[in-house]
C-alpha cells in the first residue's frame, strides 16, 4: 500500500476538479499561472492562516478545519459589509499526508465556499512539516464599507451572537473532549458523554471548530448605513474593542450586566475552571460582529433584532481606552486577549 500524496500536478488536478465552477465571473480558474476574474469596482481583500499546533491540532477533523480556514476569512469580509466572491488557498502539507485526509479538507473548503457563494480560483502547494492553510478571500465591498475608524462619541456599542462559547469549546478540546463523526461527544477517555450533557458540550465545541461568519449581518449593517464602525470578534471582545477605539480615536464604556455571555459559561464554570465574565471579555474566536451605531440609526438596528441576535453592551465616549461598569463601579478594562506573539 502506497502512503502519502501523489505528485504535485496530480493533486492540483484533483483540486481543480473539486473546485470547478461555471460562474461567469471566473474567466480562468485553478490550473493556470494566475486566475482571471471579472471584478467589481470596489474589491474587499483579506488573508488569514490556520497553522497546526497554533490554530488547530494535528488530529482535528480535516473537514471542519477546511470550513474554518475559509470561514475565518469570510468573517473579515463580514466585518466590512462585503459580499464574498473568490478565494485562493495556499496549502502546506506533510509529504506523508493521507490522500483521504486531503480529500476531507478539500470537502470542508468546498462546503463552506458553496454555502457563501465563494469560488475557489487558485492556490499553491508546499510540502511542510506542519500543516498550514493560508487563505485569501476577495469580495465586493459595499459603497460605504464598515471601517474600524468611524465610531463617534455617543454611538451605541453592539455585539452579535454570544460571547465566550468558542473559548469554552477550546477548554473542552484541551481537556480531551472530542466530537465524533457521528456528532457524539466523546469524553477524554473516548466514552460517549451522556445524552443529557452532550448537546451543550457539542455546541461549545462546534463554536470553536466550526465558526460561522456573520456575512448577512455585515451586509445589512453596511447597506443600510446603520453602523458607523465594525470589527469581528476574533481575539476577544476586549482586544477587538480596543482596536476599534484606537482606529476611531474614541473610548468606550461597557456594561458588564449587558454582555451576552453564552448561557453555558455559567453551567460549565466549575467543570472547566472558567470565570464566565472573563471568558466573555477575553475569550477569542466567537466571530460575532462588534459595531457602533449612531443615535439616529438605533431604531433601525432594533428592527434587525428579529433577524439577528444583537445586544447593546455599551456606549462610545470621548475618553481614551475602555471602561467596564460592574455592580455600579466603573474601572478600566485591561487591553488583553489573544496575541500570536505572547511569550
Return the residues of window 101-130 that contact a copy of itself according to CB under 8 A. Answer: 121-130
- CB of residue 155 to a copy of itself, shortest distance in Å: 17
- Calpha distance 203→188 (Å, rounded): 17
Measured from the CB atom, the residue of 17 and 127 that comes closer to a copy of itself is 127
- Of 27-35, 107-115, 152-160, 172-180, the segment contacting a copy of itself by CB under 8 A is 27-35
> Is residue 108 within 8 Å of residue 139, measured between CB atoms?
no
Q: What are phi and psi of 107, to 5 degrees?
A: -60, -40
Is residue 45 close enough to count as binding a copy of itself by CB under 8 A?
yes
Applying CB under 8 A, among 21, 47, 298, 315 the residue interacting with a copy of itself is 47
- Of 42-50, 61-69, 108-116, 293-301, the segment contacting a copy of itself by CB under 8 A is 42-50
**β-strands 156-160, 132-140 pairing:** unpaired
- CB of residue 61 to a copy of itself, shortest distance in Å: 21
Q: What residues form DSSP beta bridges with 87? A: 120, 137
Is residue 20 close enough to count as binding a copy of itself by CB under 8 A?
no
Applying CB under 8 A, among 18, 21, 23, 40 the residue interacting with a copy of itself is 40
Burial 21-47 (b: 16+ CB within 10 A, else e): beeeebeebbeeeebebeeeeeebebe
The three-class DSSP label of residue 161 is coil
- CB of residue 252 to a copy of itself, shortest distance in Å: 17
- CB of residue 100 to a copy of itself, shortest distance in Å: 16
- Calpha distance 184→182 (Å, rounded): 6
Within a 13 Å sphere around the CA of 2, how many CA atoms are in the beta-carbon half? 5
Is residue 9 close enough to count as binding a copy of itself by CB under 8 A?
yes
83-102 residues in contact with a copy of itself (CB under 8 A) are: 86, 88-90, 92-93, 95
- CB of residue 91 to a copy of itself, shortest distance in Å: 9
- Calpha distance 113→74 (Å, rounded): 10
Q: Please give the grid coordinates belonging to residue 281.
A: 471579555
Is residue 32 close enough to count as binding a copy of itself by CB under 8 A?
yes
Measured from the CB atom, the residue of 6 and 332 that comes closer to a copy of itself is 6
Q: Please give the grid coordinates belonging to residue 49.
A: 492562516
- Calpha distance 6→340 (Å, rounded): 33
Is residue 21 close enough to count as binding a copy of itself by CB under 8 A?
no
Give the number of residues in contact with a copy of itself, rule: CB under 8 A. Answer: 74
240-269 residues in contact with a copy of itself (CB under 8 A) are: 243, 247
- CB of residue 150 to a copy of itself, shortest distance in Å: 10
Applying CB under 8 A, among 1, 34, 299, 331 the residue interacting with a copy of itself is 34
- Calpha distance 2→236 (Å, rounded): 44
Burial class (CB in 10 A: 0-12, 13-18, 19+), 153: middle
Residue with cell 488536478: 13
Q: What are phi and psi of 28, to 5 degrees?
A: -140, 125
202-231 residues in contact with a copy of itself (CB under 8 A) are: 230-231
Is residue 151 close enough to count as binding a copy of itself by CB under 8 A?
no
57-86 residues in contact with a copy of itself (CB under 8 A) are: 76-77, 79-80, 82, 86
Amino acid at each position: 500500500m502506497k502512503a502519502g500524496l501523489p505528485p504535485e500536478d496530480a493533486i492540483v488536478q484533483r483540486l481543480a476538479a473539486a473546485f470547478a465552477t461555471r460562474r461567469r465571473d471566473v474567466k480562468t480558474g485553478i490550473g493556470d499561472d494566475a486566475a482571471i476574474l471579472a471584478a467589481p469596482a470596489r474589491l474587499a481583500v483579506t488573508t488569514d492562516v490556520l497553522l497546526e499546533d497554533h490554530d488547530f491540532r494535528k488530529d482535528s477533523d480535516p473537514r471542519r478545519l477546511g470550513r474554518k480556514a475559509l470561514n475565518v476569512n469570510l468573517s473579515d469580509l463580514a466585518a466590512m459589509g462585503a459580499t464574498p466572491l473568490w478565494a485562493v488557498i495556499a496549502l502546506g502539507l506533510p509529504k506523508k499526508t493521507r490522500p483521504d485526509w486531503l480529500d476531507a479538507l478539500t470537502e470542508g473548503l468546498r462546503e463552506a465556499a458553496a454555502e457563501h457563494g465563494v469560488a475557489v480560483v487558485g492556490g499553491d502547494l508546499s510540502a511542510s512539516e506542519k500543516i498550514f492553510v493560508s487563505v485569501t478571500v476577495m469580495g465586493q465591498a459595499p459603497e460605504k464599507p464598515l471601517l474600524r475608524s468611524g465610531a463617534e462619541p455617543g454611538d451605541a456599542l453592539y455585539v452579535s451572537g454570544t460571547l465566550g462559547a468558542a473559548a469554552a469549546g477550546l477548554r473542552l478540546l484541551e481537556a480531551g473532549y472530542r466530537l465524533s463523526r457521528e456528532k457524539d461527544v466523546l469524553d477524554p477517555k473516548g466514552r460517549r458523554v451522556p445524552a443529557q450533557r452532550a448537546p451543550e458540550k457539542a455546541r461549545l465545541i462546534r463554536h470553536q471548530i466550526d465558526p460561522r461568519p456573520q456575512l448577512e449581518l455585515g451586509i445589512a449593517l453596511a447597506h443600510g448605513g446603520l453602523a458607523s464602525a465594525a470589527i469581528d470578534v476574533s481575539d476577544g471582545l476586549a482586544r477587538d474593542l480596543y482596536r476599534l477605539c484606537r482606529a476611531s480615536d474614541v473610548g468606550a464604556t461597557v456594561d458588564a450586566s449587558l454582555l451576552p455571555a453564552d448561557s453555558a459559561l455559567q453551567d460549565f464554570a466549575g467543570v472547566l475552571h472558567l470565570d464566565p465574565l472573563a471568558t466573555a471579555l477575553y475569550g477569542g474566536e466567537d466571530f460575532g460582529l462588534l459595531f457602533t451605531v449612531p443615535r439616529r440609526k438605533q431604531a433601525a438596528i432594533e428592527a434587525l433584532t428579529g433577524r439577528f441576535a444583537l445586544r447593546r453592551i455599551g456606549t462610545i465616549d470621548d475618553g481614551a481606552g475602555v471602561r467596564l461598569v460592574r455592580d455600579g463601579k466603573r474601572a478600566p478594562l485591561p487591553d488583553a486577549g489573544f496575541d500570536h506573539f505572547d511569550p
